[in-house]
Amino acid sequence: MNKKILFMLINLNIGGTEKALLNMISELTKNKYDITILMLEKYGGFLNYLPDGVRVEIVPEYKHIKNSLNTPLHKYALDLFKEGHLIKSFVLMFFYLISKVTKERSLYYKYILRGFPVVEHEYDIAVAYAGPMDFISYFVINKIKAKKKIQWIHFDVSQIGFNKFFASKVYKKFDKIFVVSKEGRKHLVSILPSIKERTEVFSNLLSQELIKSQAEKGRGFTDEFEGVRILTVGRLSFEKGQDIAIQALTRLIHNGYKARWYCVGEGNSRLDLENLIQKNNVSEHFILLGSNPNPYPYIKNCDIYVQPSRHEGYCITLAEARCLNKPIITTGFTGAKEQIKNGVTGVIVNCDEDEIYQAIVMLITETNLCKKLTGNLSAETIDTKNEIKKIVNI
């Protein structure tokens, strides 16, 4: 009988975390595992890319509690009070005060999930994949039956809103905690030393062979630009640093460099970035291409790949640029030094407009350095498929 594995996440939007999950599922289905994806909401650009045979389910009751989870409790209680729902409003204020004292919301999750049935099927492994998201972690522990349970951490917990009070209570109930980089694991263990023994690094899965194959499909750049093409791939959000890229590009244009910067990705910072592009008069030079499930033709054909992120867990787009042997500039976020050797396979800079600008100028003017970086990358084998054995062993 095939082993049954469930992965729980928010949705399948196009992003690095979701792409890593697709890669892992592809490997697991080859090994005859039965895979179920449990989502809070069934949408996202990667939905159509799931392998055949993967079951997709949703938490149908989520739509009834979504507002109470995504709105600050005191504000939601006030809205209910204004609408005349006095008892519910007072109950929520009670849980708001409790959460202020305990500094975490597990009691509130218990309250809103009190009528939710435990998921009917039993699994061999259940994974809280959208981590850290406290609600999903709580749901996997309390509403899913499984012989083993795994918490997955995709981010640098020292840089995001990580609730150590919730984690110290709930994470000890997981059999294994996977973190996507060595440095990320170090940060997590420094905050929660009690979980050190059950915490392990699990690098995001990718196949260099598959990425090179995908780079030959689809469309890349369609304009007639003949200068230096700079590329960044990632969600449009503050932590990804596209605003810093705009400032660096503005300096390049001002100083006479013929360059155009392209961003593949979508996100909630689009309007702010569009305003910054207009403010800096670089509308013809900084191009937001939107999301694309296959960014590899763009990566293959760019001249320089830049990752200007303020923080990451393990940057899968950086790994993809390595697979395609591009001259790379990256900020020194968590996990960057695990992928790039500074001056050997890429250039690592601080998350700073001037340092990014100077590094781009260096790669534009020093063609021998570009050849050195790409040559060293081409000699590397970048394939993490063997990480799948860590799940198999569990």
- Please state whether beta strands 176-179 and 199-201 pair in parallel, antiparallel, or not at all (unpaired): parallel
Please give the backbone phi and psi of residue 3, each rounded to the nearest 5 degrees, phi first. Answer: -70, 145
Provide the pLDDT for residue 265. Answer: 94
What are the tokens at 367?
């063609």
Provide the pLDDT for residue 345. Answer: 96
Provide the pLDDT for residue 389. Answer: 86
Q: Which residue has the tokens 């992928």?
A: 339
pLDDT at 268 over 90: yes
List, in sequence order, the alpha helices (H) in the chain: 16-30, 62-70, 73-82, 86-102, 106-112, 134-143, 164-170, 182-191, 208-215, 242-254, 270-279, 296-301, 316-323, 336-339, 353-365, 367-378, 389-393
**Cα gap 144→149, rounded to integer Å:** 9
Q: What value does the mean pLDDT of the chain take?
A: 92
Map out the domains of the chain with their CATH numbers. Answer: 4-59+116-202 (3.40.50.2000), 209-378 (3.40.50.2000)
**What tens digit of pLDDT does each residue of 84-132 get?**
888 889 988 998 899 999 999 999 999 999 888 888 899 999 999 986 6
DSSP 8-state code for residue 223: S
pLDDT at 1 over 80: no
Buried/exposed code over 300-330 (b: 16+ C-beta within 10 A; e: otherwise): bebbbbbbbbbbbbbbbbbbbbbbbbbbbbb
**What tens digit of pLDDT does each residue of 351-372 get?**
999 999 999 999 999 999 999 9
| Nearest alpha-carbon partner for 253 in 225, 273, 275 | 225
Please give the backbone phi and psi of residue 60, each rounded to the nearest 5 degrees, phi first. Answer: -60, -30
**What tens digit of pLDDT does each residue of 313-326 get?**
888 899 999 999 99
**What tens digit of pLDDT does each residue of 135-193 get?**
999 999 999 999 999 999 998 898 887 899 999 999 999 999 999 999 999 999 999 99
Provide the pLDDT for residue 363. Answer: 97
pLDDT at 30 over 80: no
Provide the pLDDT for residue 349. Answer: 97
Provide the pLDDT for residue 174. Answer: 97
In this prediction, residues 251-270 reach a mean pLDDT of 96
